[in-house]
Each structure stands twice: as structure tokens, then as C-alpha cells.
Amino acid sequence: MSENFISNNSEKDQFNLNTEENDYKNLIIRLKQIKTTIALLEKKLFK
């Protein structure tokens, strides 16, 4: 029974790491999109 508990915790921990990693990747993608948008707005403002 203890082995099942440890196994379930490991799977849950791995899922949490994957979720956090995906959240981080999504954040980086979004920040790059925001950076691009700001650059385009600056070009329009300073023409």
C-alpha cells in the first residue's frame, strides 16, 4: 500500500512539474508577443 502511495505522489509531482513547465513556456511565448506588439506600436508612434 505504501508503494502505491509513493507511486501516486511521484506521478502527481511529475504532472505538476509538466504543468509548471508548460505555464512557463506559455508565459515566454506571451511575453514575446507583447514585445512584438510594443515594437510595432513604437514604429507607428515615431513615424
State the Rg of the chain over Cα. 20
Give the predicted TM-score (pTM) of the model: 0.63
* H-type alpha helices, the chain: 2-45
Q: In this predicted structure, what is the pLDDT of residue 29?
A: 96
What is the distance between the alpha carbons of residues 9 and 15, in angstroms, rounded to a whole number? 10
Report the candidate in 30, 6, 26 with the shortest Cα–Cα distance to residue 18.
Answer: 26
Which set of grid coordinates corresponds to residue 14? 511529475
pLDDT in tens, the chain (47 residues): 455 555 566 677 677 778 888 889 999 999 999 999 999 999 998 87
